[in-house]
A and B are shown apart, each in its own frame.
Chain A
């Protein structure tokens, strides 16, 4: 499984990438949304784990742009703010919105990992 992970908090992005990576899971971590978007134009992924509050592009906006080229991908949002993600139910289907600090077992479950 390929996971695209985007969080402007670089340390958190790297930690999560290290935690989630395994023989079955390849994680591509990015620290800024624009770079992640560029990466998405030329790469494939099954699941995207996106922080909601980022400079330049919010996680929700990034999800909408990424979804165009990846209609089958699953999207998981994460935020330090509870009711943060302003989702439009007509176009935004997300697998989950997780609150930071992340509960690792529930993250693994949402991503379909057994860690």
Chain B
């Protein structure tokens, strides 16, 4: 058994007898599960902040289905590593949709209360209800601990990412500068070579190649320097349609098209234009690279609400979608960590950089998969920035 689960069971005092008691009560309690699920979502609906986490009714319906399955597994076992794995996955999903940690406690209380009422209502004189309730409480404690563990994982990851970015930043700065001298020689040499080549097409073709690749290296150097600089954004009103078009024009994409929709009330947002362009170039480039056969990169800009601890603010969401293979679960978990890459080429700095820029804009960058296939990146930027009227 995984050390974490073993430790939790021992600490909470959940043993095989508890497990057996829950499994034995499973059939009798099953009819009350749907009621508990409904009650749970009535409570969420009454809370503005918790509700804001959910995008629409369809998502709520999906979540209800998931909670029902969660309750069934709670009483079905087996309480082994696969249990921990499943529960951790659910916890990570909460972290991903940014459900504030405190709601985990409130939610668990709703479940506890619902299950307590359901157990009391059972009509079975043979049943030791106190013992069953104790087993339920113990497993609820284990569940809570697993959930909190996923939040801790997330916090650790954010810390690690920041530390790694800082170290990498210093290194990147030195490396980038050291690259500039040889690049300067290469670009001047190719310039001279072109001069000497005359119109020999064989030579000209290779000079063209050298110059293109030198430009690619120059871009890498600029990215590394951006990483090293980490300058605070300078906010000014940015016209989104034009910055999207401008970023798109910077990409080489013979087989791809851009499909942009900008809602009339979401045309402009305060941002650092060059930083936002850098984010867009990165995300749209990933989108084109994900569609090796070509296709349309879809960009939709619309108003939305950004939920932050204790407040909701008006915001604009730039959604970038492709119809490529989408993300693996592993990729979704590590996407914004430096040096994590799924591409055969690429150093894994693009998304962490984008994430850092969006965070410095007090916004949020998130990734998910589309149905049936494709990746979706959401940049959410607040409509008001401090120090800007």
Q: Report the bound CA distance from A82 to B192 in whole Å.
A: 26
Contacts of B177 in A (CB 8 A): 80-81
A50 to chain B, nearest CB (A): 14
Q: How far is the CB of A33 from chain B (nearest CB, A)?
A: 16
- How far apart are the CA atoms of A16 and B186 in the complex, in Å? 11
Complex Cα spacing A12 to B214, Å = 15
- Cβ of A43 within 8 Å of any chain B Cβ, yes or no, is no
- Kindly identify, within residues 13 to 59 of chain A, every residue whose CB is under 8 Å from any CB belonging to chain B: 15-16, 18-19
CB–CB B191/A104 < 8 A? yes
Q: Does A101 lie at the interface of the complex (its beta carbon under 8 Å from any beta carbon of B)?
A: yes
Contact A15 B180 (CB under 8 A): no
For window 43-98 of A, CB contacts with B under 8 Å fall at: 80-82
Tell me if A16 and B188 are in contact (CB < 8 A).
yes
> Which chain A positions have C-beta within 8 A of B214?
101
The number of chain B residues touching the other chain, given as a range, is 10 to 19
Residue A102 is within 8 A (CB to CB) of chain B in the complex: yes
Expressed in whole angstroms, the minimum distance between the Cβ of B330 and any Cβ of chain A is 37
Cβ-defined partner of A15 (8 Å) among B185, B218, B225: B185
Beta-carbon nearest neighbor of A107 in chain B: B188
List the B side residues contacting A80 at CB < 8 Å.
Answer: 177-178, 180-181, 184
- Min CB–CB distance A2 → chain B (angstroms): 20
A residues with CB within 8 A of B: 9, 11-12, 15-16, 18-19, 80-82, 99-102, 104
Known: A15-B192, A19-B191. A82 touches B225 (CB 8 A): yes
Indicate if B187 sits at the interface (CB-CB under 8 A): yes
The answer to whether residues A18 and B181 also contact, given A82-B225, A101-B187 and a CB cut-off of 8 A, is no
B172-214 interface bits toward A, Cβ cutoff 8 Å, 1 = contact, 0 = none: 0000011011011111110110000000000000000000001
A9–B178 CA distance with the chains assembled, in angstroms: 12
Minimum Cβ distance to chain B for residue A70 (Å): 26
Bound Cα distance from A100 to B124, whole angstroms? 83
The contact sample of 26 A-B pairs, CB cut-off 8 A, is A9-B181, A11-B185, A11-B189, A12-B181, A12-B185, A15-B188, A15-B189, A15-B191, A15-B192, A16-B188, A18-B192, A19-B191, A19-B192, A80-B180, A80-B181, A82-B225, A100-B183, A100-B184, A101-B180, A101-B183, A101-B184, A101-B187, A101-B214, A101-B218, A102-B184, A104-B188
Give chain B nearest CB distance to A58 CB in angstroms. Answer: 15
Distance between Cα atoms of A15 and B191 in the complex (Å): 9
Measured CA separation A25–B187 after assembly (Å) = 21
Q: Which residues of B contact A11 (CB under 8 A)?
A: 185, 189
Q: Which residues of A contact B184 (CB under 8 A)?
A: 9, 12, 80, 100-102
- B225 adjacent to A9 (CB under 8 Å): no
Q: Tell me, in angstroms, the Cα distance from A18 to B183 when the chains sit together.
A: 17
Closest 10 A/B residue pairs (Cβ): A80-B180, A15-B188, A101-B184, A100-B184, A100-B180, A101-B183, A11-B185, A80-B177, A12-B185, A101-B187
B window 107-140: CB within 8 A of A: none
The residue from A81, A99, A102 contacting B188, defined by CB atoms under 8 A apart: A102
Nearest neighbor of B195 in chain A, beta-carbon distance: A19
Residues of B within 8 A of A12 (CB): 181, 184-185, 188
Interface centre among A9, A15, A101 (most CB of B within 10 A): A101
A9 to B191, CA, bound (A): 17
B1 to chain A, nearest CB (A): 55
Instruction: Mark contacts of B306-319 with chain A using CB atoms, 8 A cut-off: 1 yes-contact digit, 0 otherwise.
Output: 00000000000000
